[in-house]
Structure 1
Amino acid sequence: MTLVKRSNDLFPAFFDDFMAKNWFASAGINNTMPAVNIKEGTNNFEIELAAPGMDKSDFQIEVEDHYLTISYEKKKHAEDKRPNSEFTQREFSYESFHRSFTLPKTANLEKIKAEYTNGILRLDIDKDEKLISKGKSIKIS
């Protein structure tokens, strides 16, 4: 399983600094990139995504042609609690992220389970029994 990344071999420091900047901060958009652990077992793959303080109903997980996408978007409103007040300006805030992975051909796309517990989104992806190489010993003659 591979993580889809951008390649910036030409000017890595420049692009890292440029891409790390939050260009949308003044617009009230907060894009985060959660950390991910990927494990491969004998019969499955497991993805753990650190996303504390989020609601599981705001996650979206899609698979198309062995391409897995995990995204999250939460719209927050800044509420004014004062009575008889009218807004002259009201700020909206959005939290969002988007992570994509290329799944190997051995991944069974029909058997993907997801759960969100204690700030960790876990995906369990079974391997297709027919595509798992069992291996064999070859006799030398």
Structure 2
Amino acid sequence: MYLSRWNPARDLISISDEMNRLVDTVFGDRARETSLFKGSWSPAVDISEDDDNFYLNFELPGMTKEDVKVRYEEGLLTVTGEKRAQKEDKDINYHRIERSYGRFERSFRVPSRIVSEKIDANFNNGVLTITLPKAEEVKPKEIEVKIK
């Protein structure tokens, strides 16, 4: 008998695949393009920090800076946008469409210890980078410990 370690992620992936097959079977292969599924995508974001700033890096392939809006209000940073679907060629028979399209909105509660007037956003090669500068009082300070 062969024993293998149980991997819960494998079960989740299997369930996700089964759900996709069920949706495709019941509603047709293009079901995820209908209004039921449109706008349900959410871009991936990495959040990091160094001594001076917090950073949010959004993956937005196929989008331009004109497709994205960044708003900061009362401690809430909100990024909205829309990824438009490519025009379909009616002569092509699609077997599977996995790319996501539609509107998205992501909001993040921002620590009060940032300098909101200096928030910066930069869009380059499909990546939106938002820089949130830390206020001086929260930056790490080195304190010399004297040993007696």
Q: TM-score, normalised by structure 1?
A: 0.62
1:96 aligned to 2:64? Answer: no
The structural deviation recorded for 1:122 is 0.3
The answer to whether the 8 A contact 2:115-2:135 is kept is: yes
Q: What is the total number of aligned residue pairs between the two structures? A: 113
Q: After TM superposition, what 4+ stretches of structure 1 lie above 4 angstroms from structure 2?
A: 20-24, 74-80, 135-139
The structural deviation recorded for 1:29 is 2.8
**Structure with the higher fraction of residues in strand conformation:** 1
Give the percent of matched residue pairs that are identical in Structure 1 and Structure 2.
Answer: 33
Structure 2 residue runs of 5 or longer lacking an equivalent are 1-11, 24-30, 90-100
1:111 aligned to 2:118? Answer: yes
3-state secondary structure, aligned to 2:111: coil
The answer to whether the 8 A contact 1:44-1:124 is kept is: yes
Bigger Rg, which one: 2
For residues 24 and 63 of structure 1, what CA distance do their matches in structure 2 show? 32
3-state secondary structure, aligned to 1:33: coil
Q: TM-score, normalised by structure 2?
A: 0.59
3-state secondary structure, aligned to 2:81: strand
Aligned partner of 2:69 in structure 1 is: 60
C-alpha change, 1:30 and 1:65, in structure 2 (3 Å) is closer
